[in-house]
Amino acid sequence: PTLKVDRGANVTVPFQNNLSEETNIHWHGLLVPSTMDGHPKDIVQSGSSFNFNFTIDQRAGTYWYHPHPHGKTARQVVMGLAGFFIVNDDEEKALNFPSGDQELVLVIQDKKIENGQLTYSPLMNEIMTGYTGEYVLVNGIYAPFHNVATRYYRLRILNGSTARVYNIALSDNQPFHVIGADGGLLAQPVTVNTLLLGPGERADILVSFKNYMVGKEIYLTSKTFNGGTQGQQEFRLMKFVINLQADETFTVPSQLSVVQPMSPASSSRTRVMKIKGMMNGMSGNMGGSMGSGVHTINDKVYDIDRIDETVKAGATEIWEFDNSDGDEIHPMHIHGVQFQVIERTGGRGSLIASEQGWKDTVLVMPNEKVKVIMVFPQEKGVFVFHCHNLEHEDNGMMLNYEII
């Protein structure tokens, strides 16, 4: 289900685990206490239940939820345990964005299907380069279409794939407007032709079909991009069929919200997180067997009981994700906070449109170093941060941090 709530709401989700295995729920992007965050240690055993309860005190945005049992996250997400969590607020409502049939909430997930069944069993080399399914589904449908009028549409897009990165574009290269990212609205819309979206990231975009003739078909596509083998493929995600001539009075507002840029000088500390994949991990913990330990952060593999970083409550810090000698793609995600991306060096060398707003997941491409700045919560507790390539995460590319 897609959950929709207003800012300020108190949310209760009674959760009953009827699977034959352990699971839980993490509220990706929501600022909730650590006890409600679905930390891998807070598992709900098969047959057990847990009552999630928290108050929404953050900006309107496109958030989502999925399980977080260590080592099992990817498979459970692929099998279907993921959904949207939409937060609305008055600021956003006042902008009168396209809504109703003109607001589409789209999750993109690639799947492998054998004999009519979803399968999930990555091999070691697929864990390294990214486990990619041949079928790219939107909201669980292969090659879907949507009838549209000659109007504006708001697309809230989630990359819910384990490893695939999409370079979002329209088939005719028409520009579109990025209005929001992981943590809600940007200050101003940014007009682009393509937008790279890594696993876990969200994009809120406005697309205009105003200038098309009835009968025209336009595809939402993923274009090629620089970044390993998966960037070499271009493919269609879904089709829009213009089937109705309509008048459009909506215009894209020039100002959306206020995003106060955080000053690097306000940071009390910079932490470097050296991320290593398999190819550059030979000096790291290769372990003896195929399995965990080839994807690391600061040479460490996830240990559920070990606290890796200790952060003071309310502290402002800069974290740098360093993939400068890596050749794999790592979408890095931090629980418990929304951050601002302040710098990217190496690789693409600059920030993209969606990185001008609040984020909780940032794409770190091969050879890149990316710095983010954030204020940690006042409430104490243990959270994780990890690579949101879910094969990498399950492989141990995750650490704990504790707010004290």
DSSP label of 104: E
- Quick one: which of 28, 177, 202, 344 contacts ligand C2O (CB under 6 A)? 28
H or E stretch at 398:
strand 398-403
- For position 202 contacting ligand C2O by CB under 6 A, the verdict is no
Site for ligand C2O in 366-395 (CB under 6 A): 384, 386, 388
Name which of 78 and 387 has its Cβ closer to Cu ion.
387
Interface with ligand C2O, residue 330, by CB under 6 A: no
Cβ closest to ligand C2O, residue 111 vs residue 333: 333
Which tokens in the block code for residue 132?
């990619």
Among 7, 39, 59, 66, binds ligand C2O (CB under 6 A): 66
Write down the least CB distance from residue 171 to ligand C2O, Å.
Answer: 29
Q: Is 68 in the site for ligand C2O (CB under 6 A)?
A: yes
**3 state SS of 236:** strand
41 or 146: CB nearest ligand C2O:
41
Least distance in angstroms from the C-beta of 2 to ligand C2O: 16
Q: Which of 230, 235, 313, 308 is nearest to 268 (CA)?
A: 313
Residue 70's binding partner out of Cu ion, ligand C2O, none, with CB under 5 to 8 Å set by partner kind: none
Give CA–CA dist 202/358, Å, rounded: 11
Identify the DSSP state of 14: E
Least Å distance between CB 262 and Cu ion?
A: 20
Q: Shortest CA distance to 178 belongs to which of 82, 94, 259?
A: 259
For the chain, the first-to-last Cα distance in angstroms comes to: 35
Q: Name the minimum Å distance from CB 201 to ligand C2O.
A: 10
Residues in the chain, overall count: 404
C-alpha 6/C-alpha 4 separation (Å) is: 7
How far apart are the C-alpha atoms of 237 and 88, rounded to whole Å? 27
- The nearest distance, CB 372 to ligand C2O, in angstroms, is 15
* Neighbouring residues of 257: CB distance < 8 A, sequence distance ≥ 6: 59, 91, 92, 184, 185, 186, 187
- Min dist CB 28 to ligand C2O, Å, is 4
Q: Which residues make up the interface to ligand C2O (CB under 6 A)?
A: 26, 28, 66, 68, 200, 333, 335, 384, 386, 388
